[in-house]
Amino acid sequence: MKFGNVLLAVGLLFIVIGFSLLVRFNTSNLPLSKTFIDASSPLWPKSIKIKSVSLKAEVARGGYKDQKWILDSDRALFLSTSYKLGEGGNTILYAHNTDKLFGNLKKTSIGDTIVLNDSNGKTYSFDIYSKEYIRANQMDKIATNLKDTITLFTCDGWFDEKRLVVKAKKSTKETTRLGLLRKL
């Protein structure tokens, strides 16, 4: 009976190792363009805040290089091959699923506001319209054809086998406030 327990333990160990390798190598399916953005550009995000879930973080330039994600334990990261703020496309941010970074992202709700600031201090507001969990190999789902959007994602689940993807579009509240100010 002891031999059976040893075989079971070894088998489970191989399953865990195989699963973690599978998750690790299936995250490289993100559609990346050849465009590289200068880190000094004022239009890349410098900070992110989601007041409703007490999420606040500085943002640095990230990306995918040499078959590995650029990661940072202290800051959220801007995918430098995505659109810059104000360009009208999809700006993508990602971070570790920790209390310090995107750990509270799972507590967000549709309609919550995400605020980004650029290095010039300009503020951009976005309202969450989508929140979903995807498999690690479905990174193409972070893309969107909608204009003026942001996508946030982080690892989740057992052995990080899932990704939490939150999408938001330019805030209509901001547009309404600007319209009222112009009328005054």
Domain ranges of the chain: 2-183
pLDDT at 170 over 60: yes
- The residue among 136, 132, 138, 137 whose CA lies nearest residue 167 is 132
0.75 cut: is pTM over it?
no
pLDDT of residue 18: 58
Q: Averaged over 21-31, what is the pLDDT?
A: 45
Give the pLDDT band (50/70/90) at residue 31.
Answer: very low
Q: Averaged over 33-49, what is the pLDDT?
A: 64
Give the pLDDT band (50/70/90) at residue 115.
Answer: very high
3-state helix, strand, coil in the chain (%, to 5): 30, 35, 40
Where does 2-183 sit in CATH, by number?
2.40.260.10
121 versus 43: which is more confidently predicted? Answer: 121
Give the pLDDT band (50/70/90) at residue 1.
Answer: low
Tell me the sheet residues that pair with 160: none
Q: What is the mean pLDDT of the chain?
A: 80
Q: Averaged over 76-86, what is the pLDDT?
A: 91
Give the pLDDT band (50/70/90) at residue 12.
Answer: low
pLDDT of residue 140: 87
pLDDT of residue 157: 80
Is there a contact between 123 and 48 (Cβ–Cβ < 8 Å)? Answer: no
E-assigned strand segments in 44-146: 45-50, 55-62, 64-65, 68-69, 76-79, 90-94, 113-118, 123-135
